[in-house]
Each structure stands twice: as structure tokens, then as C-alpha cells.
Amino acid sequence: MTLTSTGIATTPTPLRAKTPSGSRRDIQGLRAVAVGLVVLSHFWPSRLPGGYIGVDVFFVISGFLITSHLLTKPPQSWGDLAAFWGRRVRRLLPAASLVLLVSLAASVAFLPATTLPRIAHETTAAALYVENWALASSATDYFATDDLHTPVQHYWSLSVEEQFYILWPLVIGAALWCVRRFRRRFPWVEVALVAVFVASLASSFRDTTTDPARAYFVTPTRMWELALGGLVALVAVRGFRLVPPAARASLAWLGIAAIIASAVLYDAATPFPGIAALLPTLGAAAVIAAAADDARWAPDRLWRLRGVQLTGDISYSIYLWHWPLIVVAPFVLGHDVYWPVKIALMVVAFALAWVTKVAVEDPARRSRGLARPLWRTFLAGAVLMGVTVGAATGVRIHEERAAQRAQDAVASALHADSTCFGAAAARTASCDFVGTELLTPATFAKTDKAQVYEDDCWNAQPFTTRKTCTYGAKNPTKRIALVGNSHGGYWQPALADIARRNGWQVTTYLASQCYPADAVQLIGPASDGENCRKLARWQISSIASGHYDLVVASNRTWLQLKGVAPAERGDVARGLFAKSLKTWTDAGVRALVIRDVPFHRQAVPDCVAEHPSDLAACADPEKTALVRDPLFEAARVDRSGKVTTLDLTSRFCDEGTCYGVVGGVIAYFDQGHMSATFSRTLEPDVSRALASAFG
């Protein structure tokens, strides 16, 4: 072993066993295991629920290989860093861009139009390698949870890796500069790598507990997994023997066992990454550290299999292709895919991966024309990214213009003859209940939300805010409070329009998911449940003391209550809502409680986009669509004389069937949240109920 002037070993120790092609068999085998777990988990999620940990194995491998390269060939200048980044561009960008463009084209051709704006947005994010941050943002959005999967969302892990490839050379380069500039004997590199590992691991532990949806995707909670591989490389490059020869085989098998155990034992409910990610990542680190190629009793006989080595070679392209096939296939075939089709899709994914490796990856990686001069690499990369972003932007602009045209048409319809428009069709016997023509396109309905969304009137997790929004007259003759969770918020369009016409005022007390009952609701971390209770108390007391003439309440009661058995939740919630109503009526505030509207199995705009010629296709039986409403039940039995109720089920359901389209209007923007347009078509019903409630 020799040392450079930077103090870094130029020859790594026992981690060098390589195949004739120059790659370690165990690492290629580990890649095959990782991509196999991911693919099997995506095709059969109920059979291998924890297969997502394959991504974490990839992170450790990448961290090891990149760190090994940077430490054995230390960057001495910005030119060295540019050369490193150029190799990454040639290795990764061509195949990634190809799959993105094909996925975008397939989405336009086969997927519901309602998905295209989000697919365009995520394609742009994926092309710019920030998809993980885009998904982190939507993962914390309750109203995005019903959206269909996009064919590019798996690029989140590639985004994490690319961000690592940009930052990691800078970290190591800065540490090496400190070695040369200051104290050569001080372990600058070790300190830097350990600091990143510890800080990221601590962030992962903390955020997985406090904000799990976001923690799954963001780079700070994942960097430690790549840094773990980097630490294995650092120890090896420093010349330390990581594993005694006699223990290499055992350690490799233990590492594989840890990875497989994670895939089998973990599922979607496992808090991840956090502490749970230690098992698969330490398992991967153990396999790499064991360097057990050619060791007696090692997994080398498994790694030597041609199929395993080939899968490892094309694992990157397999990962790229398999997910778009899973997402697009059901729409191409017109039905869900079952195991024979899944096996066929896996074969297609492997075939596409091999072709991509041979025809795209290898030629781009080996191209001297791209590598010299280096600026050609970055120009080619910029062109690929630009073409992808441009195509996605074109799709997005087209859909935005279509939505604007639909919005203008809907506005005209609301002010024109509306005898059979929307809920009016359910009020008029001579009208077709569903309608004969779709008057609100599916792409428009997807964003057809109440003004409270744009105005950010929600008190959302962690429920520490106290937001209200006010609509209507500045000097009102009557003041109305609107309270509930998101299933109360969709009444705002109708109430606000009625208030403006009558010189009234509506003030919102809305929460996301959390409902106005004095109890701890089980949502996210324990602190969020306590905060939800404090928010509910604030809603209840603020309305009671706010000098309102009327409180309009509507809610979907679905969160479990702390210390309450699921079977008893409805009855307990009814009692809690009764106490809320009593607080208001004792304070002299009259109440109108509107029953929750039916809930559908599928997002209605997506369903309509899939069945554009059959408006009645997006329907569900009333017995399953109409769920129990404890708030409505509490109002029905109130004896104060100050509480009235409104049940508009008949505006959604006819002869035992609840429809997603009524009077040509898509009644929901997702599965259960009413569209703003349909809310406005209910104004006559709501107006009569308000008049009755005021007495």
C-alpha cells in the first residue's frame, strides 16, 4: 500500500476480488438481489411487502463504489470533479431520459387525462433529479393520497443518488483540501464522512417519527445509507482488514439473511427509513465488507450464476423500465393484471433492460466523442434534460389550456339555463339523473376545488395553526361559522355564494382530517393526536364565543379515537359530537348539520377519464357508498330545538345507486370530496336549509 500526498491509500485491500470484466461478483450479485426484491415487491406487494428495501441496498452499494473511486483517485482540482460528474452523466442520463420520454408518451396515449398534469410535473422533476422532493411535497398532502401512481415516481431514488453524486465529491474534496492546507495528521476525511453519517442518521430517526411521509423521500434522511457504504470503502482504502479470512463467508451469509429478513418482515406500516433501515443497510454493508468472492462456503457459487451476474449488469435499466410497465399495462389491457401477465411484463422489463444496456448505456458510457472534450458530455446531458423537460412542459400547458376552457364553459353553464345542470337534474323528474352529456371534463374536475384550498384555510398536521377565512359581506346581517374537516370545507362554495347574495358572512374553522370533537384522534405521531384535540377545542370554543348566528357543520368521521375500540368508534364519536353541539346551542348559536356525501371506491375524475362514453360507469351501491355519520346522528336526536339537519343523499343517489356524475357534472374531485361546481348546483337545497335553520 502506498500513500499519495493527500494521505489516502491508492490501493484498496481485500475488497478487490473482481471478475474478468472488472466488477466484483458479490456486488453484482447484491445488485441482482436488490433489483429483484424491488421488482417482486412492486408486482406482488402482498407477497413481498418489504421488498422496497432493495432501494436501500442500492444506496449502500453506490456509496461504497463512489467513495472507493474518490479515495483511490482523489479529486485534485475542479477539472477532476468535472470529469467525475461527466462520467456520471454518460453512465446514467441517456437511459434515464429514454425511459422518461417513453413513459410520458405512453401516459399521453393510454392513461386517464386527469393524470397528465401530475405526470408532466413529476417528469420534469425526475429529469432534473429532484423527484424525491416533489414526492415529499405531495406525500404530505392528504388530498393527493387518492391519486393514481405515476409511471415516473420511482425516479425518487435516482434523484437521491444524483444529489449524492453532486455533494459527496465536494465533501471529500473539501476534506482532502483541509489535509493539504492544514494538519496532515488530522483525520479530516474520516471526520467528514462520519459527521455526514451521524447527522443524516439522526435526521432519519427524528423525521421518521415526526413526519414519516416526508422522511421517506428527502435526501437528508437517506444520505446516511450512502455514507455507510462510504465508510466501508474508507476503512478498506485505509488499509485495515475489515473481516478475518475465516469469517468472510459467514459475514456474507449473515448480510444476505438480514436483507431477506427485512424484505419479508417489513411492510407499508413499518416506520421507514428510521431505525428499521439499519437492518437491510447493515446487511448490505456486511456483504460488501466480507468481500467473499472465492472464499470457501461463501455465496460465491450463487453469485457466479450467469443469470445473477447478468441481472446485476442490467439492474439499473431493469429498475427504470419495470415500474412504467406496471403502471401503464392495466390501461393498455383494460383490466387489472394477474400473475400470467405479470410474469410476461417482467420478461418484457428484462428484455428492454438488456437492449437499453447494450444500445444506450454502454455506447454512451464508452463514447470518446462525448468524453473528449468534456464539454460535449455536459452539452449532451443538457440537451437530454431539455428535451424531456420541454416535452413534459408541452403536455402540462396543453392540459392547463383545456382546463381553462372547461372552467369558462362551466361558468357560463352556471349562469345560463341550469334546469338539468348538476344537482338540478336530481331535483327535476324530467331530467336524466346522470345526464346525457359530460359538461365538466375530467381534467377540469380534478382541480375543481373550493376556494378554501387556494386560500389555504386548512389547519393541517401537526395541527399547530389556528387559521380562519372569511367570505361575504364586511358588515353582515348574519354571521355563519363553517366547521368540520375537509368534508365540511367543500360546502364553502355554496355557502359563500348564498352569503354574498344575502349580505351575510361565512367564517371557516376547517381542519384536514381532524374533526371537531374533544378527543385524541389517532393520526401520525402521538403529538399530532394531542394537537388535533387542542385544535378541536379551539374550534368549539371559538364558535361558541364568536357571536355567530349559525354554525354549519359537516364531517367525515373516520379517524380512530385513542382508547376506543374500532367497533365502538361511531357511538363514542356521536356522543362527542353531541357535546360539541350542546356547547354551541348553550351559547345561543343555532346549528345546521349536513350529512356527509357518498364515498366512491375510485377517484371519480379518473374513472370518468377511463370511461368517457359511459357516464353511469362511475357509480357504487348506496349501501357501500353511504357511510355512517355520527355527527349527523347526534344532530338528529338533539332536543334543544336549535339544531336542524340536511341530508342530500338523494342528489347523489338514485334507486340504490350513488353516481359520480350527476346532471352531466362530475360531483367529486377525488373519491369523496365534492367538486366546487357541484357544490354550487346544490345552492337551492342549502339555501332552503339555511332559512329553516335561522328559524
The enclosing domain of 516 has a CATH number of 3.40.50.1110
Does 428 lie in the same domain as 371? Answer: no
Domain match, 268 and 359 both: yes
Looking at this protein, which amino acid is placed at residue 585? Answer: T
Q: Closest Cα to residue 555, out of 451, 680, 645, 423? A: 645
What does the pLDDT read at residue 334? 81
d(CA 59, CA 315): 13
Residue 447 vs residue 283, higher pLDDT: 283
The dihedral over CA atoms of 607, 608, 611, 617, expressed in degrees to the nearest 10, equals 80
Long-range contacts for 191-198 (Cβ within 8 Å, ≥24 apart)? 193/67, 193/227, 193/230, 193/231, 193/234, 194/231, 196/171, 196/223, 196/224, 196/227, 197/224, 197/227, 197/228, 197/230, 197/231, 198/224
Q: How much of the chain, in percent, has pLDDT values that exceed 70?
A: 94
The amino acid at residue 665 is V
**Interval 493-506 mean pLDDT:** 95
Q: Supply 483's cell numbers.
A: 366547521
- Residues with Cβ within 8 Å of 421's Cβ and at least 6 positions away in sequence, in order, are 413, 414, 439, 663, 664, 665, 681
Tell if the pTM clears 0.85, that is, is over it: no
The pLDDT assigned to 8 comes to: 43
Q: What is the mean pLDDT of residues 255-277?
A: 94
pLDDT at position 527, please? Answer: 86
111 and 197 within one domain: yes
Beta pairing partners, 511: 459
pLDDT at 246: 78
Domain count within the chain: 2
**Bridge partner list, 658:** 620, 653
Distances in Å between the alpha carbon of 245 and those of 9, 29, 289? 21, 20, 11
Q: Are strands 661-662 and 665-666 parallel, antiparallel or unpaired?
A: antiparallel
**Residue 7 above 60 pLDDT?**
no
- Do 622 and 518 lie in one domain? The reply is yes
* Residue-wise pLDDT tens digits, 370-395: 888 989 999 999 999 999 999 999 99
361 and 464 inside one domain: no
Is the pLDDT at 17 greater than 70? The verdict is: no
> Does residue 406 lie in a domain region?
no
Percent of the chain with pLDDT over 90: 73
If asked whether residues 216 and 249 sit together in one domain, one would say yes
Mean pLDDT for 653-664 is 95
Does the structure show a pLDDT above 50 at 11?
no
User: Are residues 432 and 359 both part of a single domain?
Assistant: no
Residue 417 pLDDT: 61
Q: Is 561 helix (H, G, I), strand (E, B) or coil?
A: strand
Are residue 40 and residue 138 in the same domain, yes or no? yes
594 lies in the same domain as 638? yes
Q: Inform me whether the pLDDT recorded for 19 exceeds 50.
A: no
Residue 236: inside a domain, yes or no? yes
- Grouping H, G, I as helix, E, B as strand and the rest as coil, residue 294 is coil
Domain assignment of residue 386, yes or no = yes
Question: Which positions ≥6 away from 258 have C-beta within 8 Å?
Answer: 279, 280, 282, 283, 286
Q: Is the pLDDT of residue 1 over 50?
A: no
Binning pLDDT at 50, 70 and 90, where does residue 520 land? very high
Query: Residue 517 belongs to what domain range?
Result: 417-694
Helix (H, G, I), strand (E, B) or coil at 79: helix
Q: Are residues 439 and 303 both part of a single domain?
A: no
Q: Would you give the end-to-end CA distance of the chain in angstroms?
A: 92
What are 622's three cell numbers?
348506496
- Does some domain include residue 4? no
Q: Are residues 75 and 170 in the same domain?
A: yes
pLDDT at 2: 32
Tell me: the pLDDT tens digits for 320-366?
Answer: 999 999 999 999 988 888 889 999 999 999 999 999 999 999 999 88
Residue 673 lies inside a defined structural domain of this protein: yes
Q: Are residues 423 and 383 in the same domain?
A: no
Cβ atoms within 10 Å, residue 691: 11
The residue with cell 430517526 is 205
Highest mean pLDDT among 347-361, 405-419, 428-442: 347-361
407 or 432: which carries more pLDDT confidence? Answer: 432
User: 307: which residues sit within 8 A by CB, 6+ positions away?
Assistant: none
411 within a domain of the structure (yes/no): no
Whether residue 8 is contained in a domain is answered as no
678 assigned to some structural domain = yes
Range name among 247-251, 522-526, 531-535 with the lowest pLDDT average: 522-526
pLDDT tens digit string along 355-367? 999 999 999 988 8
